[in-house]
Amino acid sequence: MSSYKDTSAWLKTKLPKQPQIAVILGTGLSNMAEVFPLLYSIPYNQIPGFVQSTAPTHKGNLLLCEVEGIPVIFLQGRFHYYEGYSMQEVVFPVRVLSALGIKVLIVTNASGSLRKELEPGTIVQLQDHINFMGTNPLIGMNDDDLGERFPSMNKVYDPELCLLADKVAFDLGIKTAKGVYIAVTGPSLETKAECSAFASWGADLVGMSTVPEVITARHSGLKVLAYSIVTNYSNLFHNLAHSQEEIQRIANISGKQLQKLIAELILRLTRTFSLTS
């Protein structure tokens, strides 16, 4: 397997501009990047060290786009632990981003709601998370070039970024909620008993991604902001099977709003937030 440093050095020679912001696009959200002028695009299968995205709607491309003149990397799709990849493979793209000089990582996903008020379609800004995957991407020898052995996960979602994003959402009239995300491995969906346990622990949303990427990003000092689109109620509230089509349909609709929010946020970020700090 190629090292993240080799892959990053290789990508640097291809990218026409040096980005400082990256966005990971989750289930049903890949299209979000396609409205922005494209500077460069490469399928994951041509990037050394990247595995294949097998999840539905995860397109598997790295794009460099210009958002209002600012170069931004979009990862169209991610790797999940449930696909059978190792944690090292799942978080490899984040390590490459960090070596590329990315300072701010915006992560998106789709999730199931554990709270009645968080209806399908709601855009939720993550305030915190619970890692219930039973593993951690930082297990193994610590790479001191990336970060310390025991990185803090206090204020894991950057408070300043969250506040700025709230202001942007308010100005655009986009309604967002706040919540705590619990990550499970999947691919089986949660039982009712699991959902009530998660809700009693303080989780508002459940999903199968994001947390490994966020832990890895924080390990190497990236500032992280994350949004989840509630695509379904968890089975705390019903006994129906989840329809993948319905999940994608809802992610697509709310994804359009989230896209506006992220585009405006990127613009304001470069004006008000010291990306070089």
Using rule CB under 6 A, residue 60 touches ligand HPA: no
Measured from the CB atom, the residue of 20 and 196 that comes closer to ligand HPA is: 196
Q: Torsion angle, CA of 16/36/244/113, rounded to 10 degrees?
A: 100
Q: How far is the CB of 250 from ligand HPA (least distance, A)?
A: 9
Provide the residue type at 62 as one letter: L
**Residues with Cβ within 8 Å of residue 238, at least 6 apart in sequence:** none
Using rule CB under 6 A, residue 180 touches ligand HPA: no
Give phi and psi for 160, each to the nearest 5. Answer: -65, -40
Give the C-alpha distances (Å, rounded to integers) separating 161 from 33, 108, 149, 165, 191: 20, 14, 25, 6, 34
Q: How far is the CB of 233 from ligand HPA (least distance, A)?
A: 8
Measured from the CB atom, the residue of 55 and 162 that comes closer to ligand HPA is: 55
The helix/strand/coil state of 183 is strand
Q: How far is the CB of 223 from ligand HPA (least distance, A)?
A: 25
Print burial letters for 92-122: b (CB count within 10 Å at least 16), e (below 16): bbbbbbbbbebbbbbbbbbbbbbbeebebbb
Binding mask 117-156 for ligand HPA (x = CB under 6 A): ----------------------------------------
Using rule CB under 6 A, residue 231 touches ligand HPA: yes
Using rule CB under 6 A, residue 210 touches ligand HPA: no
Bridge partners (DSSP) listed for residue 24: 75, 107
Among 75, 99, 118, 208, binds ligand HPA (CB under 6 A): 208
Residues that bind ligand HPA (CB under 6 A): 110-112, 189-190, 206-208, 231-232, 234, 242, 247
